[in-house]
Amino acid sequence: MSFLNSVVNQSKKCEEPFHHWELNQPLTEEQVKEIVNADIANPTEHNLNYDGTRAIDGGEGKFREGISDGGKALKFRCFITKDNSNDFPGLTNLIKELQNKKTCEKISNLIGKDLSDAYVRLEIICDRKGFWLKPHCDIKEKLMSCLLFVNKHNESEELGTDFYDSNLKRVKTMPYRDNYGYFFSSGPNTWHGMEKKDIVKERRCLQVNYVTFKTDWPVD
């Protein structure tokens, strides 16, 4: 129960610019390796009109124009589902931990939202050179938003998420440290994003959500 242990014993609650919790060592070594080794295409290596955001996913034809293989979809995002769970046994165990009643109740008490009818969603992210994310608040269907960093290439700690106040002034940058991260509950003034910064090789993360819409992973 590495994630729950991190929440209980190695987390730090922060008040500004909105309530959030920093997490230390939330992932096991197996989970970290699966995030590092996940095969995610690099949009900068293909003939694409890449704008630096995650909007490109290889599924929309307009994002695949000019690909030499005729537009076959490339995998720019990697969600953990029942179809690929055998390839990610460690992350599937993390999903089971997040589905567990004990974990749900702990997170629910911290963020003040009922997670008893929620679903778990996990996505491996690999941002490359040119990535940026404009300040935004998550959709209300995301009951909990969590990003866990995996930094195996000594990328700058400045590559963490930027947090903003209600005037969209950057107040804090989460440090992009290996096996470190944060979580919070979406709300009207939970502005976050990432300024354009220098990614030398890649920015690997695991996005973890409790959501209201159906996924393969309902909570217990």
Distance separating alpha carbons of residues 211 and 201, to the nearest angstrom: 31
Residue 55: the pLDDT is 47
Cα(92)–Cα(150) distance, integer angstroms:
17
CATH classification code of 2-40+77-213: 2.60.120.620
Which among 97, 209, 218 is positioned nearest to 142, based on CA atoms? 209
Residue 109 host element (H or E): helix 101-111
Distance CA 10, CA 104 (A): 17
> One-letter amino acid identity for 78?
C
Condensed to tens digits (0 to 9), the pLDDT of residues 151-188 reads 999 999 999 999 999 999 999 999 999 999 999 998 88
Which residues are within 8 A (CB) of 200 and not within 5 positions of it... i.e. 6 or more apart? 129, 153, 155
Q: Are 122 and 206 in contact (CB under 8 A)?
A: yes
Any residues with CB less than 8 A from the CB of 205 and at least 6 apart, and which?
35, 124, 125, 127, 147, 148, 149, 150, 181
Instruction: Give me the pLDDT at residue 53, please.
Output: 52
Per-residue tokens: 54: 């995650």
The pLDDT score that the predictor gives to residue 44 is 65
Nearest residue to 185 (alpha-carbon basis) of 139, 148, 145, 147: 145
What whole-number percentage of the chain has pLDDT above 70? Answer: 85
Q: Count how many Cα atoms sit within 13 Å of the Cα of residue 81 in the half-sphere of its side chain.
A: 6
The residue extents of the domains of the chain are 2-40+77-213
Quote the pTM value: 0.88
User: What does the alpha-carbon distance between residue 132 and residue 140 come to, in Å, rounded to a whole number?
Assistant: 22
| Tens of pLDDT, residues 40-55 | 877 666 555 545 555 4
Identify the pLDDT of residue 176: 98
Of 17-21, 43-47, 50-54, 199-203, the range with the lowest mean pLDDT is 50-54
